[in-house]
Amino acid sequence: MIDLLSLAQQDMEALATANGFPKFRGKQLYEWCHKKEIFDYGAMTNLSRDFIAFLKANTVINRGELLTVTSSGKEDALKFLLRFDGALIETVLMRYHPKSGGERNTLCISTQAGCAMGCKFCATAKNGLSRNLTTGEIIDQVNFANAYLRQNNGESVSNVVYMGMGEPLANYDAVWKSIGILNDAKNIGMRRITVSTCGLVPAIDRLAEERSQLTLAVSLHSANDALRRQLMPIAKKYPLPQLMEALNRYMAMTKRRVTIEYALFDRVNDGEKDARELALLLKRQGFHVNLIPGNPVAETDLKTSSKQHIAAFAAVLKEHNIETSIRESRGQDVEGACGQLRAKYTNS
């Protein structure tokens, strides 16, 4: 059976025409599934009876199951626990209100069940990779958040960050297709979409070829290859010189600035020497650095940096004219999914 949620508009049009229906039926179907978020064939009122019969016989709308929604005290962060064909997935919604500097509903979505990358600070890494999520499963996380927001205040998801469970660029095709659907059907501009990677060089080059306006964020966490290898095994495969060359190629091709994510752990990567190494690595290349209070993960010796260490680290970067921000912590009562997410949005 074909899963409609995994199909882009041209796929649905091709499905219609290949089965003897006019092309516009595909477009109508796409609008129901991805724009109006109606998942009941019977409610798709402008489709012909024979097309609906065909859809019922040959396709499914493969929705996940919403198990729980956990909210932080102030409801500024909500974690959705979803199940897709046996895989448990976490999706986190951060709600930014006008008084906190903008009206945004940012959804942090997962792209894989588990992850093969093995980052030392990450809870998701512990059990390895179960499987890639499909385009439909990625998109459905947005459907659930939109349904929640619609019901509560009539809003919808305005920004999406691919920073949940999994390495997005290791599931490239499904992720790229989902980005197209978000942008086209769910009204989320490319500049409101961020894809975060641990540094898969060939996939960064592939993404550069798309010449899209999305924001690429790269988890660096150290400017020292030996330390980075300890924190992130992917650095053995793609050492820093190779990664930095790929990022420069990316910026040259897309004319978009890359964000460097740097989670700070007490006395591991948060000293003045570490900051100077980072400043040297990034100087005069136009990166933006996000400093994130690293979140302690059970069974590791990684502890959160103090506010003073983080401020001193930022001061060194600013001294070198590197644009730096310290990431606001969100959802202290909600445990996020990925190590990066946990670090960003929990435990200030």
Provide the binding-site residues for ligand SF4, judged by CB under 6 A.
Answer: 115, 117-119, 122, 124-125, 165-167, 198, 338-340
CA-atom Rg of the chain in angstroms: 21
Shortest separation between residue 63's beta carbon and ligand SF4, angstroms: 24
Compute the distance between CA of residue 269 and CA of residue 56 in angstroms, rounded to an integer: 55
Closer Cβ to ligand SF4, 186 or 330, answer by number = 330
Closer Cβ to ligand SF4, 124 or 143, answer by number = 124
Q: In the chain, what's the furthest Cα-to-Cα distance? A: 69
Count the Cβ atoms, other than its own, within 10 Å of residue 244: 19
Amino acid identity, position 129: L
Shortest separation between residue 80's beta carbon and ligand SF4, angstroms: 17
Residues 6+ apart with CB under 8 A from 15: 2, 7, 26, 59
Closer Cβ to ligand SF4, 124 or 132, answer by number = 124
Active site residues: 90, 338
Compute the distance between CA of residue 328 and CA of residue 47 in angstroms, rounded to an integer: 46
Compute the distance between CA of residue 342 and CA of residue 119 in angstroms, rounded to an integer: 13
Shortest separation between residue 113's beta carbon and ligand SF4, angstroms: 11
Closer Cβ to ligand SF4, 122 or 317, answer by number = 122
Count the Cβ atoms, other than its own, within 10 Å of residue 231: 25
Shortest separation between residue 108's beta carbon and ligand SF4, angstroms: 11
> In a 3-state reduction of DSSP, which class is residue 209?
helix
